[in-house]
Amino acid sequence: MNKLAELPLHAAPMVGASRPHESAHLHVAGAAPYTDDLPERVGTLHAALGLSPVAHGRLKAVQLERLRALPGVVDVFAAADLPGRNDCGPLIQDDPILAEGTLRYRGQPVLVVVARTRELARRAAARASECIEAEPLPALLTAREAHAAGQYVIAPMKLARGEARAAIEAAPQRIQLSFELGGQEQFYLEGQISYAVPEEDQGMTLYCSTQHPSEMQHLVAHALHRPSHAVRVECRRMGGGFGGKESQSALFACVAAVAAQRNRAPVKLRLDRDDDFLITGRRHGFSFDIEAGFDAAGLVLGVAATLLSNAGHSADLSGPVLTRALCHFDNAYWLPHVSLQGFACKTNTQSNTAFRGFGGPQGAFAVELLLDAIARQLGLDALQVRQANLYTEGQPTPYGQPVEDFCLPELIQQLEQTSAYAERRAAVTAFNARSTVLKKGLALTPVKFGISFNVVHLNQAGALVHVYTDGSVLVNHGGTEMGQGLNTKVAQVVAHELGLPLERVRCSATATDKIANTSATAASTGSDLNGKAAQAAARTVRERLALLAAERLGGAAADVRFEAGRAHVNGQSLSWEELVQKAYLARVQLWSDGFYATPGLSWDRATLQGRPFYYFAHGAAVAEVLVDTLTGEHRLLRADVLHDVGRSLNPAIDIGQVEGAFIQGMGWLTSEELVWHPADGSPKGGLLLTHAPSTYKIPTANDCPPEFHVALFDRPNAKDSIHRSKAVGEPPLLLPFSVFFAIKDAVTAATGREPPLMAPATPEAVLKALNSP
């Protein structure tokens, strides 16, 4: 039995205990308000976007008068009408809010319609193609097409160590691979939405579903041609983000704010699902060309690879995504000689952006693909080859950071035993020997994932802790809640510091007038950064109260303990409420700010060398699948996961994060296929065809394996992270590599050779691999 369950609520430790999500009671009752649920101010107007009808073209004219005459329309405007800068790019100013001069992709916003109702705005905007005069131009839709044409959004990158070419040529065996890895739609349940409310003296308040309120504040200020202090952005919660609301919420925030300023009325812009697909970017698809040399044991002696990412029409975050992909090409393996080239290819598609893992999954997938193919060429179990190539403690990565606190050998060994890998491998082989149509596959894949923003200055956070005279505590921090449980963990940290039950602590909405200049809630750093900042603020308050308690009860302030809602010292105690009241009467400050900056980081963007990560998170998964060789369909029969989260702040939330990431990553690699109509000059040329749930297939509850075993690896973080925990948002998304390679294992059992299986491994892709010559 869990001993924590036997303790009364006030006595159970706040950190390390499984606690419900702080909004769970609201979620299950349908009472958790999201941006669209906020009461609309009187006179609220609604905006909709008119979209480009071509994938690439010269914008010759936009006839707005036709739309202004439609029922309910209050205002229509285009790029020339923007009061400030026509750009919402997060790093490079190459991403127009509204198209100007050139149409870059099918679905690019060209004009804005503001009407009295959302339905009237959408009806008018749907007629935008009647008002847009464009001269079509040739379009590039794939990374390989753009690479051949030399079209990139940023300069190419190179990461190298040793003499890869010489090592490959001298190796006993060699291999060459080409592979296509698809992108992935974030498919957050709450779509993109912004609600702009004009305030006094040309101020503006934005209620925005965003992972990055500060960036929204700055970009909206530029669009309005106002200083940042005139713009306030608030986000109470999001209905999912997954990276898709880090930078790409900006266009909608800017449009809503400009519309509100022009009309001096509140304006809401909420996309429907189809428009969300057609306008916004997603996980970068990658194309890989890999060459490697290895020995008879499968040890990689040298590897050279070219990574092509489909960046879309603008840079967005493609530079940092490509950097992280290159830095995760090694995944868990020592590569003595390596040469990597990365290209962010400019195409006439939506501008691809952040998505859980931020390039790391794509880079790590490439090396897993390589090791799997090497094992097959040598006739070895892929796990044997993976274990042979694992890092040892202290070996440097290609970017120069030593691998420290490397727990994968022990973790994999434990997972091998708990999953009965060897016995199941024998059982799978026996099953395949007697089954002609149905084939089973089994795979175990590891994960090593670096935690921190690659850009050093982003690794900072602030928080405020307010103690009220009734003893209740309010926390505000710079992170955003998107269902991942960040507010719950931060509240646990503060409750722990103050010795209070969790119900005495509450986190308020993230707002730019509370914590300034925040970083995005991304890169799995939410708890690491904001938890530390909140801890610092709470400790400052606690130390002030400890001084007062020692003064009133006798003893030293350093000896005061805060437990179970009381302050204890010198054999005496005061209730928390009594102490707070005394502090107020004594004019002791009962609130404090806290700040945290991750120590020890360095990064040279020119050489791709340094120490970009504070620590590494690890994990491994075993997947067993059944493939129908007649239809190409597969079923995941069982998944075993062991994941390293350090000393967990909240095991229930962390296990939920691991489970969710596994299923989401499995969808990316097996069912979520993005398809564009060829840019052939036809009416649908360049159109994203998979722009709704009817054509784009995310996993459902039925895709969860009937046996799903998830455990947390019991080992505190060696680094001084928040309570020695580790990030859990992104690393587990790499665990379902095991599902893809299990499918590949089953296809190999059917064909007896290396199958040309691409990702996502849809039934069509599996059939193609089964029947390829």
The torsion angles phi and psi of 108, rounded to 5 degrees, stand at -65, 130
Backbone angles phi, psi at 93, to 5 degrees: -80, 75
Q: Please identify every residue annotated as catalytic.
A: 730
Cα 539 to Cα 543: distance, rounded to the nearest angstrom: 6
Q: In what order do the strands lie in the sheet with 286-294?
A: 157-161, 338-346, 300-312, 286-294, 173-181
Token pair listed for 602? 């360095």
Where b means 16+ CB within 10 Å and e means fewer, 286-313 reads: bbbbbbbbbeeebbbbbbbbbbbbbbbb
Query: Given 3-state DSSP classes, what are the helix, strand and coil percentages for the chain, each rounded to the nearest 5?
Result: 35, 25, 40
200 in helix, strand or coil? helix
With vertex at residue 604, the alpha carbon angle to CA 600 and CA 606, rounded to the nearest 5 degrees, is 175
Helix (H, G, I), strand (E, B) or coil at 653: helix
β-pairing, 602-604 with 45-51? unpaired
Q: How far apart are CA 97 and CA 88, in angstroms?
A: 6
CB 10 within 8 A of CB 565: yes
Take residue 356 and report the two structure tokens written for it.
Answer: 């859980």
Q: How many residues does the chain have?
A: 773
Q: Which two tokens stand for residue 592?
A: 């404090």
Question: In what helix (H) or strand (E) does residue 659 lie, and over which residues does it extend?
Answer: helix 651-670
Side by side, which strands form the sheet with 566-569? Answer: 561-563, 566-569, 572-575
478 half-sphere exposure, CB direction, 13 A CA radius: 28
